[in-house]
Copies of this chain bind each other. A is one copy, B any other.
């Protein structure tokens, strides 16, 4: 498909067929200099918006910054040096947040879970638009909170790059190697159980 005509693709080597939007999603570190226009960004957040959530509480929120903006710099500053080293080429940085408590004031066990679901849908929408997102846990949470005025009512999710994937050759050698390395995951037998925890599911029976 034309939308996957990036410099480099990295389809998941799946054991069972999955939809191409899931197969083709990955987390590159090299970005092209093509900007992400606002109406395109809007689609990503619109996809997140329609995620399901516990009691439809929609605990998620997002802060983004475009390259060259103060917001971009504030997010960038919170990243660990390793991530600062490569995110520079990404046209947009964003962070996901989760409101910790339910409306009644009690902790929402599903706050980060629901943020994760929303980001999962955002990733699929991004893939459908030819965009790539790379999430990072490697940042100083307190610095991000201070830089971006994030209130204590909210928990921090991941920081993510948003952009069009670029040429792996623009990366330093060590990162280029990781960019081109095969993708790996645990086999289904390790995490899909039937009837009780630890009882490996039989997924072959018709």
Contacts and interface: CB of A to CB of B under 8 A. Distances in A.
Contact of A47 (B18, B118, B205): B18
Interface string A23-35: 1010100000000
B197 A39 contact: no
A188 interface: yes
A47 B19 CA distance: 8
Contacts of A124: 19, 21-22, 120-121, 124
B113 A158 contact: yes
B201 A14 contact: no
Contact of A125 (B18, B70, B195): B18
Interface in A187-206: 188, 190-199, 201-206
Contacts of A143: none
B115 A38 contact: no
Interface in A63-113: 63-65, 69-71, 74, 97-98, 109-110, 112-113
A205 B50 contact: no
Interface in A39-56: 39, 41-43, 45-47, 49-52, 54-56
Contacts of A188: 42, 45-46, 49
Contacts of A154: 197
A47 B22 contact: yes
A109 B70 CA distance: 27
A137 interface: yes
Interface of A: 12, 14-19, 21-23, 25, 27, 37-39, 41-43, 45-47, 49-52, 54-56, 58, 60-65, 69-71, 74, 97-98, 109-110, 112-121, 123-125, 128, 135, 137, 148-151, 154, 157-158, 183-186, 188, 190-199, 201-206
9 contacts: A19-B124, A41-B203, A45-B188, A54-B135, A54-B158, A63-B197, A65-B195, A116-B117, A116-B119
The 3 closest A-B pairs by CB, nearest first: A120-B120, A116-B116, A71-B195
